[in-house]
Structure 1
């Protein structure tokens, strides 16, 4: 009868410890590969910007050369050449040095949205979101969530506190700094002129900023009914996931910017679209909130 095989004792240098070492090595390799991919992505984006700058410089140089060869169109070509060279300089020197992946921003926003939504639920507040403009540059507006459906807007000083607990029960609720506030200030810094107070023009400009400047969504279509004091923005392919979460940046930018431009409170509501042309509909109203 053969002897039974004795159980193997795990000691230093055993297969179990070798397996742990192998796992740690793989994790380290994955970290290095992740870092390499991030650097490669940043380099690719910077290269894309700088190629655009070279292209604009080429257009400017060709236009200036054409101004010498074709005197009849010199004024137009000089203007085109100067614009091309100026745009090339701006594009080259204003190339971003750091790029944040969309999933990173979405994760950060998601954690904040879950926390604030849980607070709203625990306090027994309504699902109404009212963006109230301020007279200050920071913040441009507060996000007020009332406790009652029939609410009264508190004064500006009361909104500076997270919990609005005035003597009037109709004013009670919570106040938050909107996610769209710093983004709207970026829009204002980049703006070359006064957008005015025409709701259609304001919402169109904000939608362009959401899609082109911040790339928070791929497609936005605006429908404004000034007589009904309502604007609806159809949004498709959001970079930060579902728009029906608390104070989503897309809704927040649109509402904060509109409230600041009109100098009146704006309510925001996001619903899922029932057609294939859009994922969500963001509805802004500024009559009932005033």
Structure 2
């Protein structure tokens, strides 16, 4: 075979490699599309479940109202049993009012809580701006008998992490900033007390536990979907329908709970960032930690 003649075996090998690579890319695209469909279906089912719970409570409230009205009308018509029927009417109407306030979502309570948090967030943001602090948010685990965390807002880039017991204003060189009791600290303590199993130190399971705590226990959001990158030291939570409004505010209850939870569960300093969620979510809460830390 001359030098100008094509090498058939080489061409066949290149063709086989190209086909194999194309097949791998096609399968990867299929897996990615399937994962996106499953995530979207999971989000839809969670919202549907929440709406179904609200509908059940509302139907129960309507039934109690109907019972109360029927009993009241019957009490007017039948004098002999009027006392009993009026008592039954009062019970039905009271149960309707109580059930309405117990509807999952707690619209009135959530609105009040959001207003209270807004005042706190505005105050903290004003203090941070006045001191010239960075937008970096670091959640630092403590070594207490009952583990907790503190929020460190530094003045300079790449700061030395101060003792969680210091503060609230830290003036030491390379550690200047604020050390605060995070809003998510007490939420996490309550969450941990109600866990049916031990808090896990594995990032994947920990992320699932925290997401369930936000949605199912505290009902702070309708959707929290975690995405975990263990090798990269990152967990990103997709958030939709936050009860307390914009999640990008300083130490928002959802972000604070997730930051505290990851910091305590992994026993690592966690850097937290909140960004726009694009078309799928309202917000993305990203927790990062140093994978090389021993």
Q: How high is the TM-score relative to the length of structure 2? A: 0.63
For residues 176 and 146 of structure 2, the distance between their equivalents in structure 1, rounded to whole angstroms, comes to 23
Counterparts of 1:53-92 in structure 2, within 5 Å, are none
For residues 153 and 236 of structure 2, the distance between their equivalents in structure 1, rounded to whole angstroms, comes to 21
**1:14-42: CA deviation from partner (whole Å, max 9, x where unpaired):** xxxxxxxxxxxxxxxxxxxxxxxx99654
1:133 paired with 2:141, answer yes
Relative to 1, partners in 2 of residues 1:196 and 1:279: Cα closer, same or farther, differing over 3 Å? same
Relative to 1, partners in 2 of residues 1:41 and 1:214: Cα closer, same or farther, differing over 3 Å? farther
Matched with 1:283 is 286
For residues 95 and 147 of structure 2, the distance between their equivalents in structure 1, rounded to whole angstroms, comes to 34
Matched with 2:199 is 195
1:142 paired with 2:145, answer no
Contact 1:130 1:145 in 2 (8 A): yes
Secondary structure class of the residue paired with 2:174 = helix
Secondary structure class of the residue paired with 2:274 = strand
Secondary structure class of the residue paired with 2:127 = helix
Contact 2:149 2:164 in 1 (8 A): no
* Cα deviation, residue 245, structure 1: 0.6
1:209 paired with 2:204, answer no
* Cα deviation, residue 278, structure 1: 0.5
Q: How many residues align?
A: 200
Matched with 2:271 is 267
Contact 2:147 2:264 in 1 (8 A): no
* Cα deviation, residue 155, structure 1: 2.3
Secondary structure class of the residue paired with 2:157 = coil
Matched with 1:9 is none
Matched with 1:257 is 261
1:229 to 221, 233, 236: 233
Contact 1:266 1:289 in 2 (8 A): no
1:163 paired with 2:169, answer yes
* Cα deviation, residue 99, structure 1: 9.2
Secondary structure class of the residue paired with 1:236 = strand
Q: How high is the TM-score relative to the length of structure 1? A: 0.64
Matched with 1:29 is none
* Cα deviation, residue 154, structure 1: 1.1
Matched with 1:106 is 114
**1:133-180: CA deviation from partner (whole Å, max 9, x where unpaired):** 11226771100001001211112332xx210112xx211110111110
For residues 184 and 194 of structure 2, the distance between their equivalents in structure 1, rounded to whole angstroms, comes to 15
Stretches of structure 1 lacking an aligned partner (at least 5 in a row): 1-37, 50-97
Relative to 1, partners in 2 of residues 1:157 and 1:179: Cα closer, same or farther, differing over 3 Å? closer
For residues 124 and 292 of structure 2, the distance between their equivalents in structure 1, rounded to whole angstroms, comes to 22
For residues 40 and 149 of structure 1, the distance between their equivalents in structure 2, rounded to whole angstroms, comes to 56
For residues 130 and 95 of structure 2, the distance between their equivalents in structure 1, rounded to whole angstroms, comes to 43
Matched with 2:25 is none
For residues 125 and 147 of structure 2, the distance between their equivalents in structure 1, rounded to whole angstroms, comes to 21
For residues 267 and 45 of structure 1, the distance between their equivalents in structure 2, rounded to whole angstroms, comes to 38
Secondary structure class of the residue paired with 1:237 = strand
